Chains A and B, each alone.
Chain A
Amino acid sequence: MDNLSNKKIPSGLDPWNALRIHTDARIGLGRVGDGLPTERLLEFQMAHARARDSVHMAFDADGLRAQLGTINHAVIDVHSAAPDRATYLQRPDLGRLLDDASAQTLADHKGSYDVAFILADGLSARATHDHAANTLSLILDRLGDSWSIAPITLATQSRVGLGDEVGAALGARLTVMLIGERPGLSSADSLGAYLTWCPKRGRSNADRNCVSNIRPAGLAPQKAAEKIAYLMIEARKLGLSGVALKDNSSNPALIEG
């Protein structure tokens, strides 16, 4: 950047091009009067539209089940106590509880497992559709044979806390939830992973480890799977998760209750 320091910028050259490499922020948009040029205006609207569509997209559990076909493991569906998206958005407490039928389904599968994987819609079903099965498969590749794995749960209208109910009902010592994160304007397909040792109702974010921003343009699924598998192995070794289990990838700002 030193070449800019002592040189006069010729009129007409866009000096912002040299600065854009340092940030994804929407700098140097230009202006028409005090307003945004039409193209910039529509770009923003498109980004917002994609983010909103991700929030409101229905969770396609059947499609995800088909994607999981290659894994050859039992898969069960559960639903939170939030019956629909509107309720889900306004009542996060209901998104952390199982509905009655799901509680029964899980009770039928109760056992003693090292880990339960939960694939959940969260605030972006798109993220789960696009990246959850792949990420799970990459994690399993790294775990080896020493793990007993509970049936894989597909959770609809789910918050992070629902994993505690699921893990406890299945009899799992650890849960790994892959869940759609709140979409940012330029990251509508961002997946988060939450690891919780000894899952039970009332666990807080401090009890969990989070690997966030899993998507091709963010933390690539391959890299994410490495981190998650590492954290799983450490959690089992130490018998804990959360702030006491050190990892640099957690970003509390992205944790969705």
Chain B
Amino acid sequence: MQTGAPFSFERFTFPDLKTLMAKASPLRSGDVLAGLAAGSDEERVAARFALADVPLKRFLNEALVPYEDDDVTRMIMDDHDADAFAPVASLTVGEFRNWLLGDEATPEVLRNLAPGLTPEMVAAVSKLMRNQDLIAVAKKCHVVTAFRNTIGLPGHLAVRLQPNHPTDDPAGVAASILDGLMHGSGDAVIGINPATDSPETMIELLKLIDEVRERIDIPTQSCVLAHVTTAIDVMARNAPVDLVFQSIAGTQKANESFGITQAMLAEAEDAAKGLKRGTVGSNVMYFETGQGAALSADAHEGIDQQTVETRAYAVARKYSPLLVNTVVGFIGPEYLFDGKQITRAGLEDHFCGKLLGVPMGCDVCYTNHAEADQDDMDNLLTLLGVAGCNFVIGVPGADDIMLNYQSTSFHDAMYLRSVLGLEPAPEFAAWLRKMEILDQNGRTRPQLDGQAAQNLLAWSGAA
């Protein structure tokens, strides 16, 4: 891979592609912390002018991390589909933005294009886009996946039910699962972050979810978000694993800091597929990402945090996931300072993932030391709903008492479905109607004294 000539616009010059992309990024605290951000607003826009003139092809000839040093770069380059790339092969980044917004870029065209795009191309064009551009193009990208239900269909919004408990107490987890189901949440996955990453805990929690799922025939999937090696371990012990979880990042070094290799992810996908537990599809992986993860592991390789985040989606795409979740505000204000930066990052991540063909959802969230509140979350949640986000997170009252941060609530998901006319995953929606949780108008209005509610309460009480 050779490095080309430096880039310039007016009095500004940028020595290489990596620097140019960093300087073109909308301001965020993580790039300032890393010493990568533009020194002024003028320099930032100058970098965008220069970036707009870069041919997309150049990203195939100039790797941001050397091919020899990084297995994510090798994956990106080796898996690139030149035929799929052909429709945009002659465009610059600026022309690519125009093309994406144009009528020619239909959902079908974009779906066929995805394997021809690299994360760097997608990150680059996102830096030239306003929030409305990110929303408008993402809305045209339909990424549909399936396991026991179908997620990502236009006009639908799924919710991960996140019933975490600080000591993994089964009765406490069951109470939160019940609360979520009664609010129409849980179609993306019933997914527990365990307080303790051990095979025993994982098996116990998997059995807990599996029991209620089978008892009342819920068309959804479960996941205990332990390390991929723990999942491989318990699958060998015949535990009821639907989805395998793993946090991933955009460089080999960052993934090593998570204790993972590409071989482990491939092994886990094979093992979970081999269990044949899906009924309407076989997407068995659940990945989480988030801007700032690579920098916090000191493994960003001098790449800006939005671009290195997008490289994580190339890793995700390789293993045909059911769900990819950008946990956008979890990491703290040193990476995304306030509601404005969190909002921008959430829209970027969703757009970039979708354009690459990844089934993006978003944990719209913040910590108490960020300059953000529920109003900011309402805004981002609504924008993502408009953009066609595959799923969001549902936590009782938006307060995760195990991870100590604020996400979105079951109520928030009901609001979003209601104001935008979005339906749960079709199989799950049918179940909610059968359970008298959805009424005839599609609203979440559970009949608490109905037989279905009684069955759910009975299960939860016995857990």
What residues of chain A have their CB less than 8 Å away from a CB belonging to chain B?
A: 1-6, 8-11, 15-16, 18-20, 22-29, 31, 33-36, 40, 44-45, 47-48, 51-52, 54-55, 89-93, 123, 182-187, 251, 253-254, 257
A25 proximity list for chain B (CB < 8 A): 163-165, 172, 175-176, 179, 395-397, 399, 401
Task: Give the Cβ gap from A256 to chain B, nearest Cβ, in Å.
Answer: 9
- The answer, yes or no, to whether B198 is at the interface (CB within 8 Å) is no
The 8 Å CB contact of B396, one of A26, A33, A45, A91, is A26
Alpha-carbon separation in the docked complex, A51 to B369 (Å) = 8
| B461 x A23 contact (CB < 8 A) | no
Could you list 8 further interchain pairs (A-B, Cβ under 8 angstroms) beyond the known A25-B176, A40-B397? A4-B461, A9-B454, A11-B448, A23-B165, A25-B163, A33-B418, A34-B418, A89-B334
By Cβ-Cβ distance, the 8 closest A-B pairs, closest first, are A26-B397, A4-B461, A23-B172, A184-B404, A19-B175, A34-B414, A22-B171, A51-B368
The 8 Å CB contact of B175, one of A23, A93, A187, is A23
- The answer, yes or no, to whether B86 is at the interface (CB within 8 Å) is no
| B169 x A22 contact (CB < 8 A) | yes
Alpha-carbon separation in the docked complex, A108 to B300 (Å) = 39
With A4-B462, A254-B404 given, is the CB distance from A44 to B399 under 8 Å? yes
- The answer, yes or no, to whether B325 is at the interface (CB within 8 Å) is no
With A93-B33, A184-B401 given, is the CB distance from A34 to B334 under 8 Å? no
With A15-B457, A90-B337, A92-B334 given, is the CB distance from A34 to B444 under 8 Å? yes
- The answer, yes or no, to whether B367 is at the interface (CB within 8 Å) is yes
- The answer, yes or no, to whether B460 is at the interface (CB within 8 Å) is yes
| A28 x B33 contact (CB < 8 A) | no
Instruction: With CB as the reference atom, state the residue of chain B lying closest to A29.
Output: B397
| B175 x A22 contact (CB < 8 A) | yes
Instruction: With CB as the reference atom, state the residue of chain B lying closest to A43.
Output: B397
Alpha-carbon separation in the docked complex, A182 to B334 (Å) = 13
- The answer, yes or no, to whether B458 is at the interface (CB within 8 Å) is yes
Alpha-carbon separation in the docked complex, A4 to B454 (Å) = 9
Instruction: With CB as the reference atom, state the residue of chain A lying closest to B444.
Output: A34
Alpha-carbon separation in the docked complex, A93 to B35 (Å) = 12
B406 proximity list for chain A (CB < 8 A): 48, 185
The 8 Å CB contact of A8, one of B175, B411, B454, is B454
- The answer, yes or no, to whether B84 is at the interface (CB within 8 Å) is no
Best-buried of A15, A123, A254, A257 by chain B (most CB within 10 Å):
A15
Alpha-carbon separation in the docked complex, A207 to B333 (Å) = 25
B409 proximity list for chain A (CB < 8 A): 26, 36
Instruction: With CB as the reference atom, state the residue of chain B lying closest to A89.
Output: B333
| B404 x A90 contact (CB < 8 A) | no
| A5 x B397 contact (CB < 8 A) | no
| B368 x A6 contact (CB < 8 A) | no
Alpha-carbon separation in the docked complex, A54 to B369 (Å) = 9
B174 proximity list for chain A (CB < 8 A): 22
Best-buried of A16, A91, A254 by chain B (most CB within 10 Å):
A16
A182 proximity list for chain B (CB < 8 A): 367-369, 404
B461 proximity list for chain A (CB < 8 A): 1-5, 18-19
A40 proximity list for chain B (CB < 8 A): 397
Task: Give the Cβ gap from A128 to chain B, nearest Cβ, in Å.
Answer: 15
Task: Give the Cβ gap from B27 to chain A, nearest Cβ, in Å.
Answer: 12
B458 proximity list for chain A (CB < 8 A): 4-6
Alpha-carbon separation in the docked complex, A183 to B396 (Å) = 18
B256 proximity list for chain A (CB < 8 A): none
With A15-B457, A44-B397 given, is the CB distance from A20 to B175 under 8 Å? yes
B165 proximity list for chain A (CB < 8 A): 23, 25
B32 proximity list for chain A (CB < 8 A): 90
A9 proximity list for chain B (CB < 8 A): 448-449, 454, 457
Alpha-carbon separation in the docked complex, A100 to B334 (Å) = 23
What would be 29 A-B contacts, judged by CB atoms less than 8 Å apart? A1-B461, A1-B462, A9-B448, A9-B457, A10-B449, A16-B179, A19-B171, A19-B178, A22-B169, A23-B175, A23-B176, A25-B165, A25-B172, A25-B179, A25-B401, A26-B399, A29-B411, A31-B414, A33-B418, A34-B411, A36-B397, A36-B411, A44-B397, A52-B368, A55-B368, A90-B333, A123-B369, A185-B404, A253-B402
Instruction: With CB as the reference atom, state the residue of chain A lying closest to B180.
Output: A27
Task: Give the Cβ gap from A47 to chain B, nearest Cβ, in Å.
Answer: 8
B45 proximity list for chain A (CB < 8 A): none
Task: Give the Cβ gap from A58 to chain B, nearest Cβ, in Å.
Answer: 15
Instruction: With CB as the reference atom, state the residue of chain B lying closest to A45.
Output: B374
Alpha-carbon separation in the docked complex, A213 to B80 (Å) = 48
Q: 1/0 per position for B405-426, CB-CB distance to A under 8 A?
A: 1100101001100100000000
Task: Give the Cβ gap from A204 to chain B, nearest Cβ, in Å.
Answer: 10
- The answer, yes or no, to whether B398 is at the interface (CB within 8 Å) is yes
Alpha-carbon separation in the docked complex, A191 to B445 (Å) = 42
- The answer, yes or no, to whether B233 is at the interface (CB within 8 Å) is no
Alpha-carbon separation in the docked complex, A11 to B448 (Å) = 7
| B171 x A15 contact (CB < 8 A) | no
- The answer, yes or no, to whether B29 is at the interface (CB within 8 Å) is yes
Best-buried of A18, A27, A48, A91 by chain B (most CB within 10 Å):
A27
A16 proximity list for chain B (CB < 8 A): 179
Alpha-carbon separation in the docked complex, A1 to B172 (Å) = 12
Alpha-carbon separation in the docked complex, A235 to B176 (Å) = 40
Q: 1/0 per position for B19-33, CB-CB distance to A under 8 A?
A: 000000000010011
Alpha-carbon separation in the docked complex, A26 to B400 (Å) = 9
**Which residues of chain B (146-183) have a CB below 8 Å from chain A?**
163-166, 169, 171-176, 178-179, 183
B333 proximity list for chain A (CB < 8 A): 89-90
B216 proximity list for chain A (CB < 8 A): none
